[in-house]
Chain A
Amino acid sequence: SAVISQKPSRDICQRGTSLTIQCQVDSQVTMMFWYRQQPGQSLTLIATANQGSEATYESGFVIDKFPISRPNLTFSTLTVSNMSPEDSSIYLCSVGQNNQPQHFGDGTRLSIL
């Protein structure tokens, strides 16, 4: 399966600031997804990162808060904007191909003070 690298692995940020998380895959993949995992909770899909076009956001998530880029088939970024303590979560990148399971990176652990 693809090797997925996320940076940073963790960060502590001040409220009101923004952080960009990077996801790099070692091979071209069709689909890239961004998930949020709140403390002790399950995973919720934020959006599907589409190569060359705007991301597709799930209900409850908006582009102004979570802008996403996907310039090519191996790389995507998620920005968490104007952060508040409620944004403290693990943010996970996953990748998928048609007829192949999704695989996850190790996530970015984000704490907002």
Chain B
Amino acid sequence: GENVEQHPSTLSVQEGDSAVIKCTYSDSASNYFPWYKQELGKGPQLIIDIRSNVGEKKDQRIAVTLNKTAKHFSLHITETQPEDSAVYFCAASSLLGANNLFFGTGTRLTVIP
């Protein structure tokens, strides 16, 4: 089955700096890679996703890059703000929506004002 590794487990940045979280996956059949943000007491919220036919996707301060050959993908957050503080999970799936999501172990991001 799929194995998703995520690094780092914790990350602290100064407000305004950038944050990068990296994930690797093992199953070459995976073709859909979402990122979720989980705030305390809440469920995971989808913040951005990418399919394997695209190398990069950007939404305002958030971007995701995918290297299918190397089987890794990354989340980039620029101009970080205190409200970006949360736990971020990457995931991989072989079928968008209607299939199991294999989650990484999570990254606790703290943005220091």
Contacts and interface: CB of A to CB of B under 8 A. Distances in A.
Counting contact residues on chain A (CB < 8 A from B), the size range is 20 to 34
Contacts, number: 58
B103 A42 contact: yes
Q: Is chain B's binding surface mostly helix, strand, loop or mixed?
A: loop
Contact of A101 (B41, B42, B49, B105): B49
Contacts of B103: 42-44
B97 A105 contact: no
A90 to B, nearest CB: 8
17 contacts: A30-B97, A30-B98, A41-B106, A42-B89, A42-B105, A42-B106, A45-B100, A97-B98, A99-B96, A102-B34, A102-B46, A103-B46, A104-B36, A104-B44, A104-B45, A106-B42, A107-B43
B101 interface: yes
A56 to B, nearest CB: 10
Interface of A: 1, 4, 30-31, 33, 41-45, 48, 58, 92, 94, 96-107
B98 A98 contact: yes
Contacts of A4: 43
A1 B34 CA distance: 15
A58 B98 contact: no
A107 B40 CA distance: 11
A43 B34 contact: no
A97 B45 CA distance: 16
A96 B43 contact: no
Given A42-B89, A42-B105, A42-B106, A101 B45 contact: no
A49 to B, nearest CB: 13
A83 B104 CA distance: 27
Given A42-B103, A102-B34, A31 B97 contact: yes
